Amino acid sequence: MLLGRSYHPCLLSVTVVCIFLSASTYAQSPFPEFESNVKDIEGEIALVTTELQGDTGAILIYSPRCYWPTKQTITVIRQRKGEWRAEKWTAQYRDRSKKELRSLSRKRLKIDQPVDHLLSELTAQGFWTMDQDSLNIHEKQLNDTTMSMTSISDGCSWAIAAIHRNEYRLLYAYEPELLQTFVFIPARERFISCLGAMRKTLLN
Residue 169 domain flag: yes
Residue 47 domain flag: yes
Q: Does residue 93 contact residue 99 with C-beta atoms inside 8 Å?
A: yes
Residue 48 domain flag: yes
Residue 153 domain flag: yes
Total H helices, total E strands in the chain: 5, 9
Residue 8 domain flag: no
Residue 179 domain flag: yes
Residue 38 belongs to domain spanning: 23-203
| C-alpha closest to that of 127 among 63, 65, 190, 177 | 190
81-105 pLDDT, tens digit per residue, is 888 999 999 999 988 887 788 999 9
Whichever domain contains 161, its CATH number is: 3.30.1560
Residue 10 domain flag: no
Residue 129 domain flag: yes
Per-residue pLDDT tens listing for the chain (204 residues): 444 444 444 433 333 333 333 333 333 468 999 999 987 777 778 888 888 887 878 999 999 989 888 999 999 999 988 889 999 999 999 888 877 889 999 999 998 889 999 999 999 999 999 999 999 998 887 777 787 888 888 889 999 999 998 899 999 999 999 999 999 999 999 999 999 999 999 875
Q: Does residue 34 contact residue 49 with C-beta atoms inside 8 Å?
A: no
- Predicted TM-score (pTM) of the model is 0.80
* Separation CA 128–CA 153 (nearest Å): 29
Q: Which residues contact 130 (CB under 8 A, 6 or more apart)?
A: 171, 187, 190, 191
Tell me how many domains the chain contains. 1
